[in-house]
Amino acid sequence: MSVTILLGSASSARAAILTRAGIPFTQLAADIDEAALVTDIPEPRVQAQALATAKAHAVANKLLHDPQPHEPTYIIAADSVFEFEGQAYGKPQRPEVATQRWRAQRGKTGMLHSGHTVVAVLGGRKQRILQETVSATVSFADVTDSVIDDYVATGEPLFVAGGFTLEGHGATMITGVDGDPNAVLGLSLRAVREMLDRLGVSMTALWIATE
């Protein structure tokens, strides 16, 4: 029986992770009000999971709104929140915010929380929902103001949780990661594999399907 893996995100980084892992998938972005959702959730780890779950449900609802029959579909959604000195930080959005955050976190360590939700859509309805949050510690180089200014000027840190990435320019400013590096990139393949296993979907069978 064929199945569809649907990435509930517009993230090119998460799509690249699935592509590198040899997992065939389609992509559908979720439309949620992230700021409103986390207003009353102070804990960064809980925020990350709440965002991932909301995205998964939003995409499932979009899918089920289409009256056309669908083969068994497994929606994978994820979202990340950076915790630094007990506070939650999402995407900086603006250059001045990214600069301020980097000047505070340089030479220090924070925690990146990535929430994951898988929703199984079977027989025209949501059947099972699995969740897991994966956290990793990230240590930053003690870079100068000019390096930070140059990094922010690239635009790369503006739309990623915590204002950093492990790929691209950001890789030059990270001294270490303790935990799942893919979770820091946005999607833990280990967590995805285990959740799909629990739903009866073999990742190795998905590999074979792409050959």
Report pLDDT digits (tens) over 141-200.
999 999 999 999 999 999 988 899 988 899 999 999 999 999 999 999 999 999 999 999
What domain range includes position 58? 4-209
Beta-strand pair 174-178/87-89: unpaired
pLDDT band at 210 (very low <50, low <70, confident <90, very high): low
Report pLDDT digits (tens) over 27-55.
998 888 877 778 888 899 999 999 999 99
Q: For the chain, how many structural domains are there in total?
A: 1
* CATH of residue 92: 3.90.950.10
**Alpha-carbon distances of 87 from 28, 81, 99, 162, rounded to whole Å:** 30, 10, 17, 11
Nearest residue to 82 via CA among 157, 192, 132, 194: 157
List, in sequence order, every residue forming a beta bridge with 78; answer none if it has no partner: 116
Instruction: Provide the mean pLDDT of the chain.
Output: 91
Report pLDDT digits (tens) over 69-126.
678 999 999 999 999 999 998 889 999 999 999 999 999 999 999 999 999 999 888 9
Residues annotated as catalytic (active site), given as ranges = 79
Q: What is the pLDDT of residue 167?
A: 86
